[in-house]
């Protein structure tokens, strides 16, 4: 399928850069997209278009901005299967997961559409007599939005929809690996009636296009999701120009299995959390911490379930795990398997390429046992289907292990004990906590994001996600007939 290129000021344009060819990670003989990338000149044109459109867009009443999102929801609902299929071909996750992602993105559009009726400030009592005091929320300006390949539809939805309803215009750079899925959102918003220039997409190299968007003085608000090295540099550059910035980055999410856990359910949680989307979720379960008393039985069940997983092309409804996204990610995964072996860790499942699964980037779901905080597999994000298992004897030890990494995105515990579950939700150092379910997932109306080196800036999604794109103005109206003004404040 050809790609139309970038979308600037209401028009699809052919980029002036080199032609990029993306293949299906489950079938390397299938070219999914072939398109000319954009260069800095196109990024500058996109920023100029967003700057020019902003005064008009911010003047559109928020409920009307929300209604455009509502129309986008209706259009997107008619395209769920088509977008999900494209997503599977472009990124590799299995069709059921792709469909789930498409629906989640639509929910974000839906939620943000409704926020058009609720965008507002607070009315508060003033210290002064005959004085009205209240706040309003105003859009910040042009938003620069940069997204990763692992959620190529829903991540753009959960950033772009709040920016638009808040009244910001947008310059958006999708990941180079997955521009086709992202472009469906542009098509849908265009069809829903979004005026030209309000949303612009530039497809091209992160270093060139990304840097141009980040460093340009017009992009007053920046939202990034991706890796820590890129995110921390972006945060630094955003800070230099005093932009408002949010960065959501990596994770090393722990799942604790207590001695009173339902082991079958915990195994299913680890399989879904660790190997769903081939482990390529920021919230993926990547560390499993198991109580000594149940470890032997738990690992027996886990290894059996892991080795039974059917790998293959995600379009086949019987496939349970797809490929990893590309050769670079596969190399990273394989290098961590080597690192773990060299550190003396015990390989209890997988560890090799799954060549029989097809002509793609297939890796066996892999588990290492005997991992402790000194090991790189305990501390570093792999972003692939490679799990690290550690052992503990008390709840306190489990929490110390769970919190013993620099990341802090999500975490999970399996237990039947109400007290243990409740204590865990308080003690875990993470932006999200799950009980008796894996560490993955988020919902449009709930804040999403992490602590520690995972996230800086405001939370995404929910009301906070919309408020991020606004700034507060405090207003005082003195309606005293005498003109009296309290000196108190
Ligand atoms: P990445 O390499 O950091 O890329 C993310 C985006 O940044 C891509 O669009 C990339 O463009 C762009 N980029 C690259 N260099 C840039 C630069 N110098 N300036 C500005 N932008 C630049 O991350 P990824 O491999 O796509 O995604 C995987 C990472 O995302 C993992 O670490 C995962 O944990 C994280 N993630 C976090 C969350 C969360 O909410 N916490 C959610 C999903 C994923 P190109 O594609 O053109 O290189």
Evaluate whether residue 24 is within a structural domain: yes
Q: What is the pLDDT of residue 3?
A: 63
Q: How many Cβ atoms sit within 10 Å of the Cβ of residue 125?
A: 8
Determine, yes or no, domain membership for 484: no
- 65 to each of 162, 185, 193, 380, 468, how far by Cα in Å? 10, 16, 10, 42, 17
Residues 154 and 192 occupy one common structural domain: yes
Measured CA distances, 17 to 22, 39, 318, 340, 354 (Å): 15, 6, 40, 40, 35
Taking CA atoms only, the protein residue closest to ligand 1 atom 39 is 248
The single residue of 190, 248, 380, 391 carrying the catalytic annotation is: 248
Does 488 map to a domain? no
User: 151 CA distance to ligand 1 centroid (A)?
Assistant: 11
Q: Which of 91, 282, 381, 460 is catalytic?
A: 282
Residue-wise DSSP of 299-344: HHHHHHHHHTPPBS-TTSTT-SB---S-HHHHHHHHHHHHHHHHTT
187 and 279 co-located in one domain: no
Q: How confident is the model at residue 439 (pLDDT cuts 50, 70, 90)?
A: very high
282 carries an active-site annotation: yes
CATH value at residue 258: 3.40.309.10
Ligand 1 pocket check: which of 181, 208, 227, 250 to mutate, most ligand atoms within 8 Å of Cβ? Answer: 227
Confidence class of residue 469 from pLDDT cuts 50, 70 and 90? very high
Calculate helix-pair angle for 95-115, 62-77, nearest 10 degrees: 160
Q: What is the pLDDT of residues 44-56, one digit of tens each?
A: 999 999 999 999 9
Q: How many angstroms is it from 338 CA to the middle of ligand 1?
A: 24
Indicate which residue's Cα is closest to atom 48 of ligand 1: 206
Which tens digit of pLDDT belongs to each residue from 293-320? Answer: 999 999 999 999 999 999 999 999 999 9
CA of 209 to the centre of ligand 1 (A): 13
| Whole-number average pLDDT of the chain | 96
Instruction: Specify whether 215 is located in the same domain as 180.
Output: yes
pLDDT of residue 1: 45
Query: CA 188 to CA 105: how far, in whole Å?
Result: 12
Please check the confidence at residue 35 and state whether its pLDDT lies above 90: no
Q: Answer yes or no: do 352 and 379 share one domain.
A: yes
Alpha-carbon distance 34 to 268, whole Å? 38
Residue 49 lies in a domain: yes
What is the separation of C-alpha 428 from the centre of its chain, rounded to a whole number of angstroms?
A: 21
Number of domains in the chain: 2
Structural domain boundaries enclosing 323 = 253-406+410-435
In this predicted structure, the answer to whether residue 77 has a pLDDT above a threshold of 80 is yes
User: How far is 101 from 176, CA to CA, in rounded Å?
Assistant: 19
CB atoms within 10 A of CB 463: 17
Do 184 and 319 share a domain, yes or no? no
Phi, psi of 459, rounded to the nearest 5 degrees: -65, 155
Atom of ligand 1 nearest to the CA of 205: 47
Quick check: is 442 in a domain? no
Q: What percent of the chain has pLDDT over 90?
A: 95
Pair (350, 334) in one structural domain: yes
Q: What is the pLDDT of residues 112-135, one digit of tens each?
A: 999 999 998 999 999 999 999 999
For residue 148, how far is its CA from the centre of ligand 1 (angstroms)? 4
Domain co-membership, 141 together with 271: no
Do residue 293 and residue 327 come from a single domain? yes
Band of residue 238 on the pLDDT scale cut at 50, 70, 90:
very high
Atom 8, ligand 1: residue with shortest CA distance: 175
Residue 92 sits in the same domain as residue 19: yes
| pLDDT band at residue 489 under the 50/70/90 scheme | low
| Atom of ligand 1 at shortest range from CA of 173 | 9
Question: Where does ligand 1 bind, in terms of residues with CB under 6 Å?
Answer: 146-151, 173, 175-177, 205-207, 210-211, 214, 225-227, 230, 234, 248-251, 282, 381, 383, 409, 450, 454
pTM: 0.96
Active site residue 91: no
What is the CA(230)–ligand 1 centre distance, in A? 7
Does residue 116 sit in the same domain as residue 207? yes
% of the chain with per-residue pLDDT over 70 = 98
122 Cα–ligand 1 center, Å: 36
* Ligand 1: nearest atom to the Cα of 148: 26
Q: Are residues 38 and 111 in the same domain?
A: yes
Could you give the angle at the alpha carbon of 368 between the alpha carbons of 363 and 374, nearest 5°?
125
What is the rounded distance in angstroms from the CA atom of residue 131 to the CA atom of residue 125?
8
Neighbours of 89 (CB within 10 A): 25
**Confidence bin at 483 (pLDDT 50/70/90):** confident
- Packing angle of the helix pair 80-91, 95-115 (nearest 10 deg): 120
| CA 126 / ligand 1 centre spacing (Å) | 45
Residues belonging to the chain: 489
Q: Which of 155, 206, 249 to mutate to test ligand 1, by most ligand atoms within 8 A of the CB atom?
A: 206
| Residue 427 located in a structural domain | yes
What are all long-range contacts of 100-104, with beta carbons under 8 Å and residues at least 24 apart? 101/151, 101/153, 101/154, 102/76, 102/153, 102/154, 104/154, 104/157, 104/442, 104/443, 104/444
- CATH number for the domain spanning 243: value is 3.40.605.10
Atom of ligand 1 nearest to the CA of 450: 41
For residues 86 and 195, state if they share a domain. yes
């Amino acid at each position: 399928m050809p790609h139309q290129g970038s979308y600037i000021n209401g028009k699809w344009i052919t980029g002036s850069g080199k032609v990029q060819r993306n293949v299906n990670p489950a079938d390397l003989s299938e070219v999914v997209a072939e398109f000319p990338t954009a260069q800095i000149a196109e990024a500058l044109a996109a920023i100029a278009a967003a700057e020019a459109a902003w005064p008009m867009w911010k003047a559109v009443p928020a409920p009307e901005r929300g209604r455009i999102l509502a129309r986008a929801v209706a259009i997107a609902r008619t395209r769920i299967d088509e977008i999900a299929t494209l997503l599977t071909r472009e990124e590799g996750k299995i069709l059921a997961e792709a469909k789930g992602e498409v629906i989640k993105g639509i929910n974000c559009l839906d939620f943000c559409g409704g926020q058009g009726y609720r965008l507002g400030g607070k009315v508060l009592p003033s210290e002064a007599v005959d004085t009205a005091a209240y706040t309003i929320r105003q859009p910040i300006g042009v938003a620069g939005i940069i997204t990763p390949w692992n959620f190529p539809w829903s991540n753009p939805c959960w950033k772009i929809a709040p920016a638009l309803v808040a009244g910001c215009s947008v310059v958006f750079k999708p990941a180079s690996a997955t521009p086709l899925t992202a472009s469906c959102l542009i098509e849908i918003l265009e069809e829903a009636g979004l005026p030209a220039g309000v949303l612009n997409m530039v497809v091209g190299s992160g270093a060139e296009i990304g840097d141009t968007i980040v460093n340009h003085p017009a992009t007053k608000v920046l939202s990034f999701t991706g890796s820590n090295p890129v995110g921390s540099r972006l945060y630094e550059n955003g800070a230099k120009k005093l932009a408002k910035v949010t960065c959501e980055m990596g994770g090393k999410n722990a799942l604790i299995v207590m001695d009173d856990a339902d082991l079958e359910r915990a195994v299913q949680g680890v399989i879904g959390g660790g190997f769903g989307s081939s482990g390529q979720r920021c919230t993926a379960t990547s560390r499993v911490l198991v109580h000594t008393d149940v470890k032997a039985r738990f690992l027996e069940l886990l290894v059996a379930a892991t080795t039974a997983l059917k790998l293959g092309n995600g379009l086949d409804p019987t496939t349970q795990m797809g490929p990893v996204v590309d050769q670079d990610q596969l190399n990273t995964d394989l290098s961590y398997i080597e690192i773990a072996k060299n550190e003396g860790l015990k390989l209890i499942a997988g560890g090799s390429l799954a060549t029989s699964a097809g002509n793609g980037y297939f890796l066996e779901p892999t588990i290492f046992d005997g991992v402790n905080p000194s090991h790189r597999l305990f501390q570093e994000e792999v972003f692939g289907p490679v799990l690290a298992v550690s052992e503990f004897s008390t709840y306190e030890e489990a929490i110390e292990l769970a919190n013993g990494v620099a990341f802090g995105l999500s975490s999970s515990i399996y237990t039947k004990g109400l007290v243990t579950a409740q204590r865990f939700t308080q003690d875990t150092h993470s932006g999200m906590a799950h009980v008796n379910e894996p560490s993955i997932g988020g919902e449009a109306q709930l804040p999403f994001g992490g602590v520690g080196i995972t996230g800086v800036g405001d939370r995404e999604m929910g009301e906070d996600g919309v408020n991020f794109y606004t700034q507060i103005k405090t207003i005082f109206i003195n309606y005293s007939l005498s003109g009296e003004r309290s000196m108190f404040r």
